[in-house]
Amino acid sequence: MKYIIAVIQPDRLESVVEALSEEKLDLMTVSEVLGRGRQKGVAEVYRSHVQPGSLLRKVKIEIALQADKVPQAIDAIKRGAYTGNIGDGKIFVLDLSDCIRIRTGETGESALA
Amino acid sequence: MKYIIAVIQPDRLESVVEALSEEKLDLMTVSEVLGRGRQKGVAEVYRSHVQPGSLLRKVKIEIALQADKVPQAIDAIKRGAYTGNIGDGKIFVLDLSDCIRIRTGETGESALA
Amino acid sequence: MKYIIAVIQPDRLESVVEALSEEKLDLMTVSEVLGRGRQKGVAEVYRSHVQPGSLLRKVKIEIALQADKVPQAIDAIKRGAYTGNIGDGKIFVLDLSDCIRIRTGETGESALA
Amino acid sequence: MIDSGDTAWIVISSALVLLMTPGLAFFYGGLVRRKNILSVFMQCLMAVCVVGLQWVLFGYSLAFGPDHGGVIGGLSFAGLNNVGLLPNADYAATIPHLLFMVFQMMFAVITPALIIGAFAERMKFSAFLVFAVLWATIVYDPLAHWVWGVGGFLRDYGALDFAGGTVVHISAGMAALAAALVVGKRKGYPETGTPHNLALVVLGAALLWFGWFGFNGGSALSSGAISTLAFVTTQLAAMAGAIAWVVLDWVLAKRPTTLGLLSGLIAGLAAVTPASGYVGPMAALAIGAIAGALCYISVMFVKSRLQYDDSLDAFGIHGVAGTWGTLAVGLWASVAFNPNGADGLFLSGAAHQLLVQFVAIVVVSAYSFVLSFALLKLLDKFMGLRVSPDHELIGLDLTQHKESAYTFLG
Amino acid sequence: MIDSGDTAWIVISSALVLLMTPGLAFFYGGLVRRKNILSVFMQCLMAVCVVGLQWVLFGYSLAFGPDHGGVIGGLSFAGLNNVGLLPNADYAATIPHLLFMVFQMMFAVITPALIIGAFAERMKFSAFLVFAVLWATIVYDPLAHWVWGVGGFLRDYGALDFAGGTVVHISAGMAALAAALVVGKRKGYPETGTPHNLALVVLGAALLWFGWFGFNGGSALSSGAISTLAFVTTQLAAMAGAIAWVVLDWVLAKRPTTLGLLSGLIAGLAAVTPASGYVGPMAALAIGAIAGALCYISVMFVKSRLQYDDSLDAFGIHGVAGTWGTLAVGLWASVAFNPNGADGLFLSGAAHQLLVQFVAIVVVSAYSFVLSFALLKLLDKFMGLRVSPDHELIGLDLTQHKESAYTFLG
Amino acid sequence: MIDSGDTAWIVISSALVLLMTPGLAFFYGGLVRRKNILSVFMQCLMAVCVVGLQWVLFGYSLAFGPDHGGVIGGLSFAGLNNVGLLPNADYAATIPHLLFMVFQMMFAVITPALIIGAFAERMKFSAFLVFAVLWATIVYDPLAHWVWGVGGFLRDYGALDFAGGTVVHISAGMAALAAALVVGKRKGYPETGTPHNLALVVLGAALLWFGWFGFNGGSALSSGAISTLAFVTTQLAAMAGAIAWVVLDWVLAKRPTTLGLLSGLIAGLAAVTPASGYVGPMAALAIGAIAGALCYISVMFVKSRLQYDDSLDAFGIHGVAGTWGTLAVGLWASVAFNPNGADGLFLSGAAHQLLVQFVAIVVVSAYSFVLSFALLKLLDKFMGLRVSPDHELIGLDLTQHKESAYTFLG
Ligand SMILES: Nc1ncnc2c1ncn2[C@@H]1O[C@H](COP(=O)(O)OP(=O)(O)O)[C@@H](O)[C@H]1O
Ligand SMILES: Nc1ncnc2c1ncn2[C@@H]1O[C@H](COP(=O)(O)OP(=O)(O)O)[C@@H](O)[C@H]1O
Ligand SMILES: Nc1ncnc2c1ncn2[C@@H]1O[C@H](COP(=O)(O)OP(=O)(O)O)[C@@H](O)[C@H]1O
């Protein structure tokens, strides 16, 4: 089992969710983050003092899934998140050793879905 | 060492924290997330245009702990988070290769606590 | 490849980012979390009813990087986050099995940077 | 004869009192959990609209129409018939009758909104609307007639209520108590979270404070000595109430809190309401300070002992402070300040006015409690008052209104 | 002769109308995405400043200076020359001329701000500023002269617009439609997110509502029967508009929504504006309710059919409601309520006033639409109206103003 | 003789000025970090309560009681003795004396609140309360007597301060400078974060702007030509100040910013305060624009050069603008606009009034700075002014008040 963490542009969330849905990957956890990457931040100005800004708003998506579905997931995320600009984001793949569904107590792969 | 990520209903946070405390699992990191799972989202309406809503507020708990405490932790989370309804949430278990306490520089298992 | 998760005091973020920069570790993802650790929370009072507060605001930093840069990263985080007080925070190191850059499709170590 | 200065003051007072209902919406809305704030906004704002409509259609007439037997006003002003741009000297000889009507409307609409504090976070929107209109009709309108209407029996008996201690605060407070009992506790009570946004609560309190000058000052129905007196007593009682609560918080809970300050402020304002045009400034300080202390005790000790869930302390603050303030008229009222008032215990040495005030309190409290209780029981039976438990869990905003107040992302 | 009561009322009315522009900023600002809220604030607040400056330098003179051929006011009041502390009996005999000027200024500054709703989230700040000043000069000032200026041709023709149905709401609404067409849709439309903070939208609506009493009530330019009438009709139309939208929402979208309630409220307020001092309270209820329904239809069905991106429905609400309200004067106006008005269709049985109103609507709409369209096309050519696509993506706050409204951390 | 129009205006003005303190709380509260917003609210609101109490007990008497030697007012009005519902012709012949007292109270309570900007995010709440009451007693009350009290030596000398340029803004500004020096920099300065919620800052500025019409317009103490003049000059200076700052931002920092606009607005309002009832509209434009530029320079260049931590620029804006505005009276005052004023340099060609204004500035500045400095040093010694470093880190809301403004979850 794998645990995917993807960091994308905030306004691509809907299209990524859609693309994942097409692959029947419907389960995920989403959060708001700040990203520091190649995309340069925008300096901010307060009472005329410039504050070098380096963190930009991003959205993080986490998906726990079977190992063999990883390529599909990556494709879907790419499809939904790609614009070709710096800042499009990254996908990280980690190993997942177990998963438990609280409601039923199921564990392992059957708890993923 | 293991790294547990649990996604639960927001209003179960207090009882999960309590249940974990009873097992002497006092250390954790909590954040606000949006979840897409089996529980159906509620459509929203703005100026009479319906927006299909699919993301529901959830709480994410992260706990780094010794491998042998994982069953206890899972039990406690289940105890605190269980209501029997769809949306109760999931627990993900990942491997943790190291842990460092910034204040003392301790590493490994002794830094967990 | 490794995936570092560090939880630090909110007001140390800037100095940690700076310290990481000095090591040429410029890429990261930052989020707001609540931490429960050794540092005692502050009880809150609403209409004179005391609410035992146990969660304190913290900042979480995530960094995906080559395994051999982990010591540098840990040092930098320690340097930036250390104050010597309880609550300084922790660093967790996980294994990262893959990384993909959405814009170019690069994978593995070359996608990290 | 219409006076331009009096009219200017009552027009602006009417606007100020209107602003209090959104103020209340922010006050209550910041106190509830994030998932229920819009339900509070909807209830407050729709109270203005539906009760306002009831008011022009027949409510005003029931309250202020020509008297029938001391208990009700009849229907000759229904649909604003006979309510025109000339003054109605019975109530205010220097402003248009229509202006008196609309000023009073603002009181009629905020009173049911005050009750929301008792059943916030669990009441069905439809049930609230029906409740608000019926409650205005069978509780508020008669009470307003008894106390303020020419021929009203409490007015004739000599009860003094300058700006609504009985009609507004006691009646709403007792209804709130009834509602807390009938509707029942929130799921998970008393672990029902902390105020989700105190900045909104401060905003609400600021607007209430600002609007209260129109509420009390405008009740002079003219611009001059009495409106000034009401303005000053209002300000002093608010300050004293806030200070009292802050001091008690500091001593008993170790820290002065923002919500404490605001609670004391509202307590002071509610308490001085019935007295504002009858007592002097120093009396107002005493009324406010004691109101802060009494409400502190009621919210802190009584409520937690009795274990009813008056979510936002509508009874604990408005009911208690309104009762105290109405009594206080019997203590500190002084004809030196207002010749249309009376001399209270401390000036005349006689307890007569105090007794009259006490009787008015008992009558109004009992009437409001009993009728509110019965009305709510009835509505519960016929349409159900509460949302379903899972809707309560998800939150009223999404389930009753299909909206979220704040986006999480973007 | 200056009357202290009239002056008090118009001074406070001016302050109330000023408060409406920040109110509008909150209303619009809460509706846009988090990344664009400051751009809305900046546009609204700078509209006050730059158009206000234009007004004292020459705008007031163009609108209210001595007439030239029924179409424009000339420059004899430019730089506030001849605008002093004595009354100008042409407009208001009991308040200083300077007060009339500043009261009118508040109308002049909010009108361009209303248009912002149409092009929010994508317009360049510099382009907005130039647009606002030029639009005020070539559209607002002449229109104000035609309808309100002594000698203005629509005024002489008999068109009635008590507080700005044509001059403010129709002119802004038609300009908004032109702007939505010229500026084009937002990137990603119609997936442009949900309101990022409805609490701010409620705050904005509350301030607008409060301020509107000055807008309509102050347009009596004195304190007495007519200001009272305008106050009451304003309140009733607002209530009725809100109720109408809520009912339609409930029936057609299954749930009553907060944004729906507020939209209906604003629709009712905008619609009653031209009629507020000419019609009775019951007519106001009808005007408000119908306005709620018409705007509901326009926003719900017409806009989605025609697929222009009037981001925050500046045309759909202000344009539609302003048009309806202006017509409604021809239906319900009554000299029994205001001797300076007229008798509409329902009182006189004659369609004369209705026809006059209709002509005024056509003239004002056409003028505003055509000139706004041309002006925007021109500006687009010379300086560009839109920010670049990646700036639109990152948000106008960071790219146009180098600020974020909210910190994410700390 | 009490005039209903004058009374209406001063009553509403008092309410408007009261609203400014919550306005200031939002303005300051939005600028600080999330963890300190409630501490700002608490300080602002308690300033109203405790200084208000001081005012009715003895402060008013010290300031406006019968004169003793030109320097202080004595105690004959203490506890509001002899302050009743009849006019006190010394100050305002057409409104109740009690109304003059409460209008002035609103000035007395906001002045210490202004100083909060200098030591926000690090001062102990208890120390603040003691400071506020003592400062009001030894700094504000005497200054108010000197400048505004009958017999006050600066008043007799001919110094003109229409609505508080010296008494309010310079005195608060100099105290702020002293406080910034005595209390010291915040931990981590100058890396102390960006404003956590600019929407609240805009809200605060809007309420301040709205309230300022009562502040300046009400200072006419009647409703008519002078209140109108003050209203108009207030509005024009605000606009001009905002435009000036925005232009400088645009040129020097490449982008026009929201906080810049608001800062310029407040600068313009503060600067026109002493001049508002003495100068004409065009002078107000100049005063406002120059104020915006001067404050820009002071905040941008002087502060960063001198490295004191005036957290929210209480000195940099109120002190600087108040000084400039007080001088400006000596330049543009004109008896054509206000016969009770004087002719400034530009009208009379004589520098006399300018010199008088200059002397008043020096006296008031020196007095306020020295006494504030000494008072703060003393308090620091006896009770400590600052919270502990770890409390500063965790934030004042949790450590001083045991509350968080916003929940993170739920
Ligand atoms: N090595 C990394 N570790 C953690 N987060 C990263 C890393 N690299 C990129 N990110 C996240 O991905 C986001 C996009 O990265 P960026 O370099 O801007 O995009 P791109 O790869 O398209 O050039 C960043 O803002 C950051 O949040
Ligand atoms: N495969 C997954 N990957 C990531 N997050 C998940 C996954 N499955 C569930 N979740 C998270 O857990 C939450 C609860 O899941 P849900 O399916 O609604 O509950 P249940 O398992 O009780 O039916 C979801 O809202 C989502 O945040
Ligand atoms: N075992 C753990 N699992 C998850 N998060 C932890 C763990 N231990 C600490 N943390 C996070 O680190 C933060 C700092 O920990 P704390 O014990 O207060 O600091 P210190 O280690 O310096 O004493 C906590 O608030 C929590 O967010």
Instruction: Please list every residue in chain C whose beta carbon sits closer than 8 Å to the beta carbon of residue A32.
Output: 31
Asked whether the predicted pLDDT for residue F43 surpasses 80, the reply is yes
Structure tokens belonging to residue E301: 């069905």
pLDDT of residue E1: 92
Instruction: Give the neighbours of chain B: at least 3 Cβ pairs within 8 Å.
Output: A, C, D, E, F
Ligand 3 probe mutation, B1, B21, B25, B28, most atoms within 8 A of CB:
B28
| Least confident residue range of B28-42, C20-34, F43-57 | B28-42
F9-F10-F14 Cα angle (round to 5) = 120
Q: Is some CB atom of chain D closer than 8 A to the CB atom of B14? A: yes
| Least confident residue range of B21-35, E254-268, F91-105, F321-335 | B21-35
Structure tokens belonging to residue F31: 């600028």
Pick from E26, E80, E203: which is nearest to F281 by CB? Answer: E80
Q: For D11-36, how does the pLDDT look when each residue is reduced to its tens digit (9 = 90+)?
A: 999 999 999 999 999 999 999 999 99
Report which of F233, F75, F99, F114 is spatially closest to residue F163, judged by C-alpha positions. Answer: F233
Task: Supply the DSSP symbol for F193.
Answer: -
Report which of A83, D332, D219 is spatially closest to residue E188, judged by C-alpha positions. Answer: A83
Asked whether the predicted pLDDT for residue A14 surpasses 80, the reply is yes
**Residue F90, amino acid:** D
Q: For E212-250, how does the pLDDT look when each residue is reduced to its tens digit (9 = 90+)?
A: 999 999 999 999 999 999 999 999 999 999 999 999 999
Q: Read out DSSP for D37-67?
A: HHHHHHHHHHIIIIIHHHIIIIIHHHHHSSP
pLDDT of residue E304: 80
Structure tokens belonging to residue E170: 């129709």
Q: What is the mean pLDDT of residues D211-231?
A: 98
Mean pLDDT across chain C: 89
Chosen for mutation from B8, B16, B103 (greatest number of chain C CBs closer than 10 Å) is: B103
Give chain C's domains with CATH numbers. 2-39+53-111 (3.30.70.120)
Asked whether the predicted pLDDT for residue E259 surpasses 60, the reply is yes
Contact between C47 and D253 using a beta-carbon 8 Å cutoff: no
Q: Are E8 and D8 in contact (CB under 8 A)?
A: yes
The alpha-carbon gap from E19 to the nearest alpha carbon of chain F, in Å, equals: 6
Neighbours of E44 (CB within 10 A): 27
Q: For F291-336, how does the pLDDT look when each residue is reduced to its tens digit (9 = 90+)?
A: 999 999 999 888 888 889 999 999 999 999 999 999 999 999 999 9
Structure tokens belonging to residue F335: 């008896």
Task: Supply the DSSP symbol for B51.
Answer: E
Neighbouring C-alpha atoms within 13 Å toward the C-beta of F165: 34
Nearest bound ligand to the CA of residue A61? 2
Residue ranges of domains in chain E = 4-409
Instruction: Please list every residue in chain B whose beta carbon sits closer than 8 Å to the beta carbon of residue A105.
Output: 78
Q: Report the percent of chain D where pLDDT is more than 70.
A: 100
Report which of E209, E201, E212, E211 is spatially closest to residue F199, judged by C-alpha positions. Answer: E201
Structure tokens belonging to residue F368: 């306020």
Q: For E113-142, how does the pLDDT look when each residue is reduced to its tens digit (9 = 90+)?
A: 999 999 999 999 999 999 999 999 999 999
Instruction: Please list every residue in chain D whose beta carbon sits closer than 8 Å to the beta carbon of residue F1.
Output: none
pLDDT of residue C40: 64
For residues F190 and F172, what is the distance between their CA atoms, to the nearest angstrom? 23
Q: Are D124 and D160 in contact (CB under 8 A)?
A: no
Task: Supply the DSSP symbol for F69.
Answer: T
pLDDT of residue A41: 63
Q: Are F44 and F132 in contact (CB under 8 A)?
A: no
- Please name the residues in contact with E20: beta carbons below 8 A apart, sequence gap of 6 or more: E106, E110, E207, E208, E211, E212, E214, E215
**Residue E403, amino acid:** E
Residue of minimum CA distance from atom 26 in ligand 2: B35
The alpha-carbon gap from A105 to the nearest alpha carbon of chain C, in Å, equals: 26
Length of chain F: 410
Q: For D263-281, how does the pLDDT look when each residue is reduced to its tens digit (9 = 90+)?
A: 999 999 999 999 999 999 9
Instruction: Please list every residue in chain F whose beta carbon sits closer than 8 Å to the beta carbon of residue D206.
Output: 19, 22, 25, 207
Assess whether the C-beta atom of A38 lies below 6 angstroms from ligand 1.
yes
- Domain E4-409: assigned CATH number: 1.10.3430.10
Q: For F107-145, how does the pLDDT look when each residue is reduced to its tens digit (9 = 90+)?
A: 999 999 999 999 999 999 999 999 999 999 999 999 999
For chain B, the maximum distance between any two Cα atoms, rounded to a whole number of angstroms, is 58
For residues F84 and F12, what is the distance between their CA atoms, to the nearest angstrom? 19
Mean pLDDT across chain E: 96
Q: What is the mean pLDDT of residues B30-41?
A: 82
Q: Read off the pLDDT band of A55 (50, 70, 90).
A: confident
In whole angstroms, what separates CA D157 from the centre of its chain?
Answer: 23
For residues B26 and B24, what is the distance between their CA atoms, to the nearest angstrom? 6
E168-E172-E175 Cα angle (round to 5) = 150
pLDDT of residue D128: 98
Asked whether the predicted pLDDT for residue B50 surpasses 70, the reply is no
Q: How far is the CA of D162 from the centre of ligand 3 (A)?
A: 58
Q: Read off the pLDDT band of C68 (50, 70, 90).
A: very high
Structure tokens belonging to residue F143: 């200054």
For residues B90 and A99, what is the distance between their CA atoms, to the nearest angstrom? 7
Q: Read off the pLDDT band of B44 (50, 70, 90).
A: confident
pLDDT of residue A84: 87
Neighbours of F134 (CB within 10 A): 17
Q: What is the mean pLDDT of residues F142-150?
A: 98
For residues E179 and C21, what is the distance between their CA atoms, to the nearest angstrom? 46
Q: For F343-397, how does the pLDDT look when each residue is reduced to its tens digit (9 = 90+)?
A: 999 999 999 999 999 999 999 999 999 999 999 999 999 999 999 998 998 899 9
Contact between C34 and F402 using a beta-carbon 8 Å cutoff: no
Q: Is some CB atom of chain F closer than 8 A to the CB atom of C94? A: no
Asked whether the predicted pLDDT for residue C48 surpasses 70, the reply is no
Residue of minimum CA distance from atom 20 in ligand 2: B87
Q: Report the percent of chain F where pLDDT is more than 90.
A: 93
The alpha-carbon gap from E134 to the nearest alpha carbon of chain D, in Å, equals: 34
pLDDT of residue B42: 65
pLDDT of residue B12: 87
Q: Is some CB atom of chain C closer than 8 A to the CB atom of D300? A: yes
Structure tokens belonging to residue D399: 């389930």
Asked whether the predicted pLDDT for residue D90 surpasses 80, the reply is yes
Q: Read off the pLDDT band of B48 (50, 70, 90).
A: low
pLDDT of residue E236: 98
Asked whether the predicted pLDDT for residue C38 surpasses 80, the reply is no
Assess whether the C-beta atom of B32 lies below 6 angstroms from ligand 2.
no
- Within F256-352, strands assigned E span none
Report which of F25, F151, F107 is spatially closest to residue F273, judged by C-alpha positions. Answer: F107
Q: How far is the CA of A10 from the centre of ligand 1 (A)?
A: 13
Q: Are C57 and F409 in contact (CB under 8 A)?
A: no
Q: Read off the pLDDT band of C56 (50, 70, 90).
A: confident
Instruction: Give the neighbours of chain E: at least 3 Cβ pairs within 8 Å.
Output: A, B, C, D, F
For residues E216 and E227, what is the distance between their CA atoms, to the nearest angstrom? 8
Q: How far is the CA of C20 from the centre of ligand 1 (A)?
A: 15
- Please name the residues in contact with E209: beta carbons below 8 A apart, sequence gap of 6 or more: D18, D22, E238, E265, E269
For residues C75 and E267, what is the distance between their CA atoms, to the nearest angstrom? 61
Mean pLDDT across chain F: 96
Q: Are F208 and E45 in contact (CB under 8 A)?
A: no
Assess whether the C-beta atom of A76 lies below 6 angstroms from ligand 2.
no
Q: Read off the pLDDT band of E198 (50, 70, 90).
A: very high
CB contact residues (below 8 A), chain E span 167-206, against chain A: 188, 191
CB contact residues (below 8 A), chain D span 350-409, against chain A: 408-409
Q: Read off the pLDDT band of D409 (50, 70, 90).
A: low
Report which of D346, D353, D225 is spatially closest to residue D277, judged by C-alpha positions. Answer: D225
Cis peptide before F190 (omega within 30 of 0): yes
Asked whether the predicted pLDDT for residue B36 surpasses 90, the reply is no
Indicate the SS3 state at residue F36. Answer: helix
Instruction: Please list every residue in chain C whose beta carbon sits closer than 8 Å to the beta carbon of residue D190.
Output: 49
Length of chain A: 113
Assess whether the C-beta atom of C47 lies below 6 angstroms from ligand 3.
no
For residues D9 and D95, what is the distance between their CA atoms, to the nearest angstrom? 10
pLDDT of residue C52: 57
Between residues B43 and D292, the one the model is more confident about:
D292
Terminus-to-terminus CA distance in chain D, angstroms? 58
Report which of E30, E199, F407, E257 is spatially closest to residue D33, judged by C-alpha positions. Answer: F407
Report which of E388, D392, D263, E45 is spatially closest to residue F201, judged by C-alpha positions. Answer: E45
Strand B44-46 relative to strand B49-51, pairing: antiparallel
Instruction: Please list every residue in chain E whose beta carbon sits closer than 8 Å to the beta carbon of residue B46.
Output: 194-195, 257, 259
Structure tokens belonging to residue F323: 């000084």
Instruction: Show the 3-state SS of D119-165.
Output: HCCCECHHHHHHHHHHHHHHHHHHHHHHHHCCCCHHHHHCCCCCCCH
**Residue B71, amino acid:** P
pLDDT of residue C30: 93
Strand B98-101 relative to strand C89-95, pairing: antiparallel
Asked whether the predicted pLDDT for residue E410 surpasses 60, the reply is no
Assess whether the C-beta atom of C69 lies below 6 angstroms from ligand 3.
no
Ligand 2 probe mutation, B4, B7, B11, most atoms within 8 A of CB:
B7
Contact between B29 and C8 using a beta-carbon 8 Å cutoff: no
Instruction: Please list every residue in chain B whose beta carbon sits closer than 8 Å to the beta carbon of residue E195.
Output: 46
Chosen for mutation from D85, D94, D223 (greatest number of chain E CBs closer than 10 Å) is: D85
Q: What is the mean pLDDT of residues E22-40?
A: 97
Assess whether the C-beta atom of B20 lies below 6 angstroms from ligand 3.
no
pLDDT of residue E203: 98
Asked whether the predicted pLDDT for residue E167 surpasses 80, the reply is yes
Instruction: Please list every residue in chain F whose beta carbon sits closer than 8 Å to the beta carbon of residue D337.
Output: 85
Task: List b or e across E90-112, with b for residues whose CB sees 16 or more CB atoms inside 10 angstroms.
Answer: ebbebbbbbbbbbbbbbbbbbbb
Q: What is the mean pLDDT of residues D82-111?
A: 98
Q: Which contiguous run of DSSP H or E holds residue F67?
A: none
Ligand 3 probe mutation, C4, C7, C40, most atoms within 8 A of CB:
C7
| Least confident residue range of C41-50, E25-34, E266-275, F241-250 | C41-50
- If you compute the radius of gyration of chain E from its CA atoms, what whole number of angstroms results? 20
Q: How far is the CA of A28 from the centre of ligand 2 (A)?
A: 6
For the CA of C55, the nearest atom of ligand 3:
25
Assess whether the C-beta atom of C41 lies below 6 angstroms from ligand 3.
no
Q: How far is the CA of F4 from the centre of ligand 3 (A)?
A: 66
Q: Is some CB atom of chain B closer than 8 A to the CB atom of A66? A: no
pLDDT of residue E191: 78
Assess whether the C-beta atom of B109 lies below 6 angstroms from ligand 3.
no
pLDDT of residue F410: 54
Contact between F228 and E4 using a beta-carbon 8 Å cutoff: no
Asked whether the predicted pLDDT for residue F409 surpasses 70, the reply is no
Asked whether the predicted pLDDT for residue F2 surpasses 90, the reply is yes
Asked whether the predicted pLDDT for residue C53 surpasses 70, the reply is no
